[in-house]
Amino acid sequence: MISRILFALSLCVLGVACSTPEGPPLTISKVVVLEALPGTKMSVGYLTLDNNSDQPISIDRVTSPQFASVEMHETVIEDDVARMASLTSLVIEPRTSVLFETGGKHLMMSGPLNQVAAGLPVTIEIHYDANGLLIVATAVSSRKNFPDSSR
C-alpha cells in the first residue's frame, strides 16, 4: 500500500516537473546602448524583455558595471509635453513582452565609470523577483546608425 502511494506521488511530482516550461523565465533581445550625446555623460538603452513563464516577473532594478547608475524611465505626455518618469520597478505579465524603445520605456545610464564609446563593450544586468539576475553583454552603438539619433 505504501509503495503504491509513493509511486502515485512520484508520478505527480514527475508530472509537475515535466510541465515546467523549458528555458529561462526571463529573456532579453534587441539590446541597443547608444553612446552619449556630445557634451553629456548620459547614455540610453533600448531592449525587449520577454516573460516566458506563467507567473508575473517583477524587475527590481537594472545595473551595469560601466555606469554608476542605471534607471528605468518612461516617456509620458502631460499637457502635450513629453516628460520622463522614473520607474522604480516594472511587472511583466506572464507570457508577454515589454519593449524599451524611443518614446516609451527606456534605460537612462549615467555616470560612466570608464570610456563608453561606439564599439566598446557594455553589460546590462536585469535584477528580477528579488534574486533573479539576467546579464547581457553588447557593444555601444553609434547614434549615426540609430534611426532616431536625437535620443
pLDDT tens, residue by residue, 108-138? 999 999 999 999 999 999 999 989 999 999 9
- Are 58 and 90 in contact by the 8 Å Cβ rule? The answer is yes
Mean pLDDT over all residues of the chain?
85
- Which residue blocks in the chain are alpha helix, DSSP H? 2-19
C-alpha cell at 16: 509537475
- Are 26 and 131 in contact by the 8 Å Cβ rule? The answer is no
Radius of gyration, alpha carbons of the chain: 20
pLDDT 10s digits, 53-66: 999 999 999 999 99
Using pLDDT thresholds of 50, 70 and 90, give the confidence band for residue 148. Answer: low
Domains in the chain, CATH or no CATH each:
21-145 (2.60.40.1890)
pTM greater than the 0.85 cutoff: no
